[in-house]
Amino acid sequence: MDAAAPPDAAEDWPPPLPDASGFVAPPVPGPGAAWAAFARACAQDPAGAARVVARAAWLVAIAGLCVPLHLAWRALGRPSPWARRFLAWSARACGIRVRSIGQPVSRDVFYIANHLSWTDALILGGQTGTVFVAQDGIAIWPGIGFICRLNDTIFVNRSDRMGVPAQIAAMREQFKRHSRIAMFPEATCSDGRRLLPFKAPLFAMLIPPPPGATIQPVVIDCDEAGRTLAWVGMETGAANAWRLLARPGTWEARVHFLDPFSPADLPDRKALSARARSAIAARLSETLGGRPVA
């Protein structure tokens, strides 16, 4: 395991995250602006641009194979294996070597995981075939929103308090159909060196839990190269994707499937959130060489 070095009492741990206070993500650019930005990036880093183009072509080829087959399986009323294959192969195309540690629960499960980047969906989805809960801003991303919908992603708007009952109903309906849902309750990305507070309202659909439902905490643990690619601070999604796809070589992500527990054993969503977070924090600390995880 590529654990961090043992903690040093004089060390500033964890290192501070980039200051993102007041950051407002820019609007999705139109085609002309996007192509102009791409051309500027290519001129600044021709070698990186070649890797971006090669990996993007690989991703398009994977989509060209998997999307029609996925739609065909759906049209025939059969469970489709192609979404999971798409995610797993896309992770490899992005230069990510994924390794599982522990045994994932195969059905009637809510995976609760820490969150480093948009690549977490490729990493965890490729190992489990789960559908995801995601913030609704992703739904408008060109191409990405379409792929998310093909995998039946549940989009939620955390600021829409009046819409919470409908969002909970949608999650319950998808759970009946797929029996596997993954959530990132930090509700934003960190850098793999800490664990941000969990948003307990995301656990509302588990009160009361669907019959037979299980919660399985999951730790996504990257090597140092993967941690430097985390999507944090004021970086846009496009800038992070460029940085990841332009990077030479590969990096490793390890998915730790921890001991599952029944949500029926706990009284409310805050208790569910606290138990899942405690398990994730303990394992994440181990992967960091015993460094504390707040």
Can you spell out the DSSP letters for 109-135?
EEEEE----THHHHHHHHHH--EEEEE
Q: Do 216 and 111 contact (CB within 8 A), yes or no? A: yes
Give the pLDDT confidence score for residue 9 in this predicted structure: 47
Cα 66 to Cα 63: distance, rounded to the nearest angstrom: 5
Phi first, then psi: give them for residue 121, nearest 5 degrees: -65, -40
Q: Is the dihedral of CA 14, 18, 21, 24 positive or negative?
A: negative
Task: Give, in order, the Cα–Cα distances in Å from 216 to each of 10, 45, 182, 202, 235.
Answer: 35, 42, 9, 15, 30
Cα 265 to Cα 106: distance, rounded to the nearest angstrom: 20
Q: Do 198 and 277 contact (CB within 8 A), yes or no? A: yes
Give the pLDDT confidence score for residue 60 in this predicted structure: 96
Give the pLDDT confidence score for residue 16 in this predicted structure: 81
Residue whose structure tokens are 């040093």? 8
Nearest by Cα to 230 from 73, 116, 123: 116
User: What H or E segment, with its residue span, contains residue 256?
Assistant: strand 251-257
CA atoms within 13 A on the CB side of 84: 10
Q: Do 117 and 123 contact (CB within 8 A), yes or no? A: no
At 195, is the secondary structure helix, strand, or coil? coil
Instruction: Name the DSSP letter for residue 278.
Output: H
Record the tokens describing residue 97, joined without a space.
């070597």
Domains of the chain: 31-287 (3.40.1130)
The CA angle 141-144-150, to the nearest 5 degrees, is 130
159 alpha carbon, distance to own chain's centre:
21
Low-confidence ranges of the chain (pLDDT < 70): 1-11, 20, 22-23, 25, 158-163, 294
Phi first, then psi: give them for residue 169, nearest 5 degrees: -60, -40
Give the pLDDT confidence score for residue 11 in this predicted structure: 65
Give the pLDDT confidence score for residue 293 in this predicted structure: 86
Instruction: Name the DSSP letter for residue 46.
Output: H
Percentage of the residues of the chain whose pLDDT score is greater than 90: 65
Give the pLDDT confidence score for residue 163 in this predicted structure: 65
Cα 269 to Cα 275: distance, rounded to the nearest angstrom: 10
